[in-house]
Structure 1
Amino acid sequence: MPDVRLASPQGKWIVFTTVLGSSMALLDSTVVNVALPRIGEDLDADLAALQWTVNAYMLTLAGLILLGGSLGDRYGRRKVFVVGAVWFATASLLCGLAPNAGVLVAARALQGVGGALLTPGSLALIQASFHREDRGRAVGLWSGFGGIGAAVGPFVGGWLVDGPGWRWVFLLNVPLAVVCVPVALRHVPESRDTLAHGRFDVLGAALGALALGLVTYALIEADEGSVLVVAAAVAGIAAAVAFVAVERHRSDPMMPPDIFASRQFTAVNLVTLCVYAALGGFFFLSVVQLQVVAGYSALGAGTALLPTTLLMLLFSSRSGELAERIGPRIPLTVGPLLCAAGMLLMLRVGEGASYAADVLPAVLVLGVGLVTLVAPLTATVLASVEVTRAGLASGINNAAARAAGLVAVAALPLLTGMGADSYRSADAFEGPFRRSMLWCAAFLVVGSALAFTAVRRPPPDCDHPECRTHCCVTAPPLEGERRAPRELG
């Protein structure tokens, strides 16, 4: 039985190291976007290389995050967490030293592997280490401090890009890992699931990542219209079909098809796909628009979106409580519409845009939409399955959100006619950006319609998540595995 008390020195060290570890992966999911124009200029990279700089990380992270959680359960959560931190820091060092775009993209893919070990591992350590009476408060502290890190991240990223340079956005992870790993080894108790077996769905994970990778390649390189692009698209679809077939016939699948027998779970994941496709496209392109078209510095662009994170940090827990009282249908319908309105307000952001008059209203409306949406979405996902499958449901939802963002970053430049060098010119970038915001708003409207027609109130006795404070815009929060109430006593 876990018996660490939160008030003890060991308990404080556990919270510290898990926050530090999860923040490494969280920050790299957000602050790298701020550095993209400088990366492109320094490495003489075209738009496709910048897309891959974002997507290589998201590809391996989305494809392996479920497997990463299973590895921790089987071989030891602390061990896998430490391996993830070392792996992530090593890949970050490679990113910071990359001499060209090709090396940077490859290193980003390696970073995603480390992120797939770190991201589920940090919360799993909290859940597995603390006494039952302190677990909720420990998760709350982990979530709250992580939210503060998410709020500070774009500011720090922008300052680094404008100051010592974009490479330090990656190199900063190295000293963080140097602190995180020894603390974890000294103060965090090892834990594992004694019922977990040694069989892993490696084939399923490989097919899922392959399908995403091939489809992403086809979308990014579609302008070439070559036989290779067509072959990649066909192969990607074939890999996706094979993934579904493998998951249906394995005895221990990574993504059990029967979990989608819950109409509520399926509906909320469809809403997730729409919402996070829009958010992925928005956060990829908006910081470029602010720098290239509006003339903001990297620091100015990074901090311009800060109110969104602050609103989520301050009010997401209250939004979760409201959804418990009134049900998730209204928040999941209204939230995407508010986010769509915020993105449409970004159409006002052009050359010489005023922050107070043009950018801030869009950011505030978007932030209110996310506050309304994210916590109820997470609670509804967990309430739509048995309590013992909470971790699995959360992992699938998280992976779906990351995959949606991945595809959006690949597809939006193609859909809007954004050329290889558009990000270098205000005139060339502004038109495609505006069309992209219209596409993102359309995704959100579809998500809202799905929520209104398909989402229902969970049973009144369902178990709700302990973690409601959430500030990451790239994916919903992960929830650790939980036992049924009768098993906790």
Structure 2
Amino acid sequence: MTLASAMVLIDQTAVPLTLPAIATDIRISTQLAQWVLNGSLLPLAGVLVLGGRLGDLFGQRKMFLIGSVLFAAASAAAGLAPQFGVLLGFRVLQGIGGALMLPNTAAIVSAAYLRKDQGRALGTMGGAAAVAGAALCCCRSPLIGPLVTAAAAGVGFFVIALLGQYPNYLGATVSQAVAGMAEMGLGIIFPLVLILNLTMDPVIAGLALIPATLPMIVVARLAGRWYDSDSGRIPLVTGFGLLAASGVLLALGVLQNSYAWILPGLIVYGIGLALVLTVNDPVSLDTVPHTVHGQASGVSATAEQFGGALGIALLYLVFHTSYLNRFAYIVANGPVTGLSPSAAAALKAKLLGAESTGLHPASFGAELMPYLRLAREASNFGYMAAFLTVTALSVIALVAVARLVRQPASDAEAD
């Protein structure tokens, strides 16, 4: 189950790093390439609740195996796809396969352990999967109507059937959504900081993100034990407090244009995210009847996936808007003015190309070099805005879990 969860998360975090290369290889725009990510993420989020419910009705093992075969076959086919339409189709199937796998993993692990050991078991699974996922750090189709319907049905179940009855589950679901926003949203931002601003090679940038994942190896298991002994409220509050602090540290770090200054923020981010992701699963299931564990896991996983999709859109929008406004202001009021439309287009093209090849300042030439420095200054402003947005979201989640999550019933009371 740990390996299965890890594969789904790896798919979500590895693909953003490869989008520039995919766009180049199959000759599509970078905007259209985003649908390679969304093509899997949207059906994954839309079908998760159904996948969990099918597990409750027909057997979690059976649904998990069906999902695993579909996910593996679609992954291989997507890797061999010769053109965008074929790739997108197999990415949709990959998302559906993941939706059958993911909610049933937590339900299977929960059923395999006694109540007193469930936190540690689910924590180990969630933490190890998070380590794997974080280590790798326009379309109008009839694909859309069913997705909207599935999302609406999920929200209806989300509000009426479970969340209103179980405050712990509501708190864990809010927590899962915000954690997904931070994890996947920053998964887009981190490579831009390291490759474009710190001029790292893409491979080196991937290695530079390892300090954000190493804490998870230790913290995940400790967090599971912490939950077993003290329930989930304090670990979740602590985790979101650390995520809020990491946003501030990362915002301060980018001002220095130095990896050494960003490193503390990455480490604190990794610890906070490990706490939240590890404790969320047992908290989400500790007050929900065993007969709906698959369905409950599906709703929780849906919250994480939709949160991730929203986080990608929100954090990139905050970054990009802040960056463009700041760049326009600097050019209009700074010592270097008169950026022609042709020079602006050339600067944009070179920056987009650098996302996949690494940034080499010497290749910009004498005409664009002054504007490259201004772009770096403006992008730092955009990164700060994105990181502080994560801080604000984490504070909101901290308040929510502090109000909602309580000590679960004892084993005798649960029986």
Q: Calculate the TM-score normalised by the size of structure 2.
A: 0.71
What residue number does 2:147 align with?
A: 209
What residue number does 1:115 align with?
A: 98
Q: Quote the offset at 1:28 in angstroms.
A: 0.9
1:88 is the counterpart of 2:71: yes
Q: Quote the offset at 1:35 in angstroms.
A: 1.9
What residue number does 2:264 align with?
A: 361
Structure with the bigger percentage of helix: 2
Contact 1:60 1:109 in 2 (8 A): yes
Contact 2:7 2:133 in 1 (8 A): no
Q: 2: distance between equivalents of 1:367 and 1:381?
A: 21
- Deviation string 1:383-418 (CA, Å, 9 cap, x unpaired) is 343444443333212211111111221233334427
1:404 is the counterpart of 2:307: yes
Amino acid at match of 1:404: G
Contact 2:233 2:406 in 1 (8 A): yes
Amino acid at match of 1:411: L
What residue number does 2:406 align with?
A: 457
Amino acid at match of 1:441: T
Contact 2:50 2:295 in 1 (8 A): no
- Of 286, 295, 305, the residue aligned with 1:392 is 295
Q: Quote the offset at 1:46 in angstroms.
A: 3.9
Q: 2: distance between equivalents of 1:462 and 1:84?
A: 32
Aligned residues: 361
What residue number does 2:393 align with?
A: 443
Task: Name the CA shift for 1:394/1:20 in 2 (closer, same or farther; >3 Å).
Answer: closer
1:68 is the counterpart of 2:51: yes
Q: Quote the offset at 1:113 in angstroms.
A: 0.9
Contact 2:49 2:154 in 1 (8 A): no
Q: 2: distance between equivalents of 1:124 and 1:290?
A: 38
Q: Calculate the TM-score normalised by the size of structure 1.
A: 0.62
What residue number does 2:225 align with?
A: 321
Q: Quote the offset at 1:424 in angstroms.
A: 4.3
Contact 1:84 1:115 in 2 (8 A): yes
SS in 1 for 2:214: helix
Task: Name the CA shift for 1:441/1:370 in 2 (closer, same or farther; >3 Å).
Answer: same
Matches within 5 A, 1:183-222: 209-210=147-148
Contact 2:182 2:308 in 1 (8 A): yes
Matches within 5 A, 1:47-446: 47-122=30-105, 140=121, 144=124, 151=131, 209-210=147-148, 240=152, 247=156, 255=158, 257-261=160-164, 262-348=166-252, 353-355=257-259, 357-415=260-318, 416-417=320-321, 423-424=352-353, 430-431=379-380, 432-446=382-396
Q: Quote the offset at 1:64 in angstroms.
A: 0.9
SS in 2 for 1:259: helix
Task: Name the CA shift for 1:147/1:260 in 2 (closer, same or farther; >3 Å).
Answer: closer
Amino acid at match of 1:312: M
Contact 1:336 1:448 in 2 (8 A): yes
Structure 1, unmatched stretches of 5+, are 1-17, 159-205, 213-238, 248-253, 464-483
Q: 2: distance between equivalents of 1:149 and 1:405?
A: 16
Q: Quote the offset at 1:112 in angstroms.
A: 0.4
Q: 2: distance between equivalents of 1:395 and 1:74?
A: 13
SS in 2 for 1:438: helix
Task: Name the CA shift for 1:309/1:439 in 2 (closer, same or farther; >3 Å).
Answer: same
Q: 2: distance between equivalents of 1:269 and 1:145?
A: 18
Q: 2: distance between equivalents of 1:448 and 1:394?
A: 21
SS in 1 for 2:13: coil
Q: Quote the offset at 1:62 in angstroms.
A: 1.2
Q: 2: distance between equivalents of 1:100 and 1:437?
A: 35
SS in 1 for 2:407: coil
Q: Quote the offset at 1:437 in angstroms.
A: 1.8
Q: 2: distance between equivalents of 1:26 and 1:308?
A: 15
Amino acid at match of 1:295: T
Q: Quote the offset at 1:339 in angstroms.
A: 1.0
Contact 1:279 1:440 in 2 (8 A): no
Q: 2: distance between equivalents of 1:147 and 1:328?
A: 15
Identity %: 30
RCO greater where, 1 or 2, for CA within 8 Å and sep 6 or more?
Answer: 2
- Deviation string 1:11-45 (CA, Å, 9 cap, x unpaired) is xxxxxxx5554443232122223323333443454
